[in-house]
Structure 1
């Protein structure tokens, strides 16, 4: 079992907390973890993202995989490691950035949309692939990609995923999902996020 699989085998859904504030990250994080989530991502275009990551990492320790999204530079990798994060998520497939992240012991989910990008990321040593944006990668395209990608390489559609759209992607070969605004939007309280989280977990487990 890979280190990423030790989390995705529990629940392969990534909570994307874009726009979250450090002073609200722990109540939201606790609501997600109580619902069953084990992978939490704070995109770097959020207010004080590394502070939020540090708070989550300290709160949950090794039991929960905490990482940063929308990462683009090696300087960001250094800050992520210092904050206690262990997962790098990017909107793009940069082989050099993937290799740099792996050299620092991080898990990686780079964004890809084509076979060329996918295999470049695989050759760079990625742990999984973020199919992004999923709005332009429908299930039939996922099925075609899955036919040529290594069976052991997990793929996670991200972008516009709702509880009722997951089944078609799973049938096409998706291994999990990244969940953004349908799960969390800035200003939502922990109770509202908990309700949405339970809906996604139920859709996955009953799909």
Structure 2
């Protein structure tokens, strides 16, 4: 897939699960729960030591899934993620070195922004689909609309404080391609599968 096709896939799924694996044994049961729940996608975060190994295991065992790396804050992590098989890279903020690394590998990069200045830094690197994080702490949809009014060519993936209670309000705004969230990742694999099914049904309801 090229980067445009990856963005189309994210837009179609509407939700990007943000996943933290504390150990490698969690990877397959939780990935299977997401897939069985109807969401074959995960942003596996570099918040734990096993992130790169988790990405490699997930991509090997579930080639049909769309696996990316999150919380990528430097070139080293970015290169680890790409070698492990990540299909997209996400950062909590904007990192020029991660942007450069992704450009060198023709890798989709969704950097985090919350201000017009940060948006301009990303735009200067040719990036126009951005993560807005942490969404609920920085004014949510109201701030996103204000930023997109200044930069009408931007598309946004809000993350942070997203839940079943507010996701439809976000998705109703045409500049939002999808929402990142971790609310479906709580509890056992059975709990995750149930919450994922509910989330998928909600965002696809007519």
TM-score by length of 2: 0.89
Deviation at 1:65, TM superposition (A): 2.1
Q: Distance in 2 between matches of 1:65 and 1:35?
A: 14
Structure 2 counterpart SS, 1:42: strand
1: distance between equivalents of 2:40 and 2:117? 30
How many matched pairs?
202
The answer to whether the 8 Å contact 1:102/1:125 transfers is no
- The structural deviation recorded for 1:166 is 1.1
1:44 Cα deviation (Å)?
Answer: 0.8
Find runs of 4+ consecutive structure 1 residues off by over 4 angstroms.
none
The answer for the alignment partner of 1:157 in structure 2 is 158
Deviation at 1:178, TM superposition (A): 0.5
* 1:55 paired residue among 44, 49, 57: 57
Residue pair 2:68, 2:88 contacting (<8 A) in 1 also: yes
Asked whether the 8 Å contact 1:166–1:203 carries over to 2, the reply is no
176, 179, 190: which one pairs with 1:177?
179
In structure 2, C-alpha distance between the alignment counterparts of 1:156 and 1:201, rounded to whole Å: 17
Q: Report the counterpart of residue 125 of structure 2 in structure 1.
A: 124
When residues 190 and 80 of structure 1 are mapped into structure 2, their CA distance, relative to the original with a 3 A threshold, is: same
Say whether the 8 Å CA contact 2:44–2:69 is kept in structure 1.
yes
The answer for the alignment partner of 1:75 in structure 2 is 76
Secondary structure at the counterpart of residue 17 of structure 2: strand
Show the counterpart of 1:113.
114
Q: How far apart in 2 are the matches of 1:39 and 1:123?
A: 29
Contact conserved, 2:78 with 2:102, CA < 8 A, in 1?
Answer: yes
Match of 1:35 among 34, 37, 43: 37
Check whether the contact 2:79–2:101 (CA below 8 A) recurs between aligned residues.
no
CA distance in 2, matches of 1:99, 1:85: 16
Query: Structure 1 residues 15, 130: CA separation in 2 closer, same or farther (over 3 Å shift)?
Result: same
What is the CA distance between 1:114 and its match in structure 2? 1.0
8 Å Cα contact 1:38/1:65 also seen in 2: yes
Unmatched 5+ stretches in structure 2: none
